[in-house]
Homo-oligomer: A and B are copies of this chain.
Amino acid sequence: MSISRRDEIVIAATELFAQHGYHGVGMRAIADAVGIRGSSLYHHFPSKTELLYAIAHDYNRAFIESQLADLSPNPTYAARVRKLVYDHIIYFHKHRLEEAVGLRELQELRANAPEHYTDIQTSRRSYQDGLERLIVDGRETGEFECEDPHLVVLAVLGMVNSVNDWYRDRGRMSIVEVAEAYADITVNRILGAR
């Protein structure tokens, strides 16, 4: 069971878009990367915009599916947040190219395919709300201690999403160590878990 040509195209386009930006890559360059001609791409995608959407959407859906795994087996809110942050960093590292494209070209999608933009934005938002809920609930039980849960969520997400800007596989830490350290900072420090 090998990957389909369509998937080959998505993978190649993701890499090129991540490197040169959406407008910096032509259809012919994408086609070259998979060994076909530019016009042949239109057998798999109706337009360049839809190809971009396929990248953002495939990636986003996979993330939601993987990340909305049930956190309730974890006994405490601290353990739940810890697992969420940890998994988030591991997942975003594995899919860092898709993420880079998805974030960077979001407004491109907004301008050219508003309905695709809103559905991606909606699922992002629900993820953010889920984390905020965890923090609010954990605060009510006295497990966490922080002033402004909404702001804290934004700070934490900004922190974890920035890992891919500097992390390199051959550095002094493995991605697992980084994920553990960030989860520690989030739960023990920022959330002031007891």
Contacts and interface: CB of A to CB of B under 8 A. Distances in A.
A165 B173 contact: no
Given A22-B21, A185-B190, A162 B151 contact: no
Interface string A151-179: 11011111111110110000001000010
A107 interface: yes
A155 B159 contact: yes
Contact of A154 (B105, B108, B162): B162
A194 interface: no
A95 interface: no
Contacts of A160: 158
A166 to B, nearest CB: 5
A114 interface: no
Nearest to A154: B166
Nearest to A166: B154
Contact of A178 (B19, B104, B147, B151): B151
Interface of A is mostly: helix
Interface size class of A (residues with CB under 8 A): 35 or more
A43 interface: no
A156 to B, nearest CB: 8
A152 B185 contact: yes
A86 B18 CA distance: 32
A163 B158 contact: yes
A38 interface: no
A66 B99 CA distance: 33
Interface of A: 19-24, 104-105, 107-108, 111, 147-148, 151-152, 154-163, 165-166, 173, 178, 181-182, 184-185, 189-190, 192
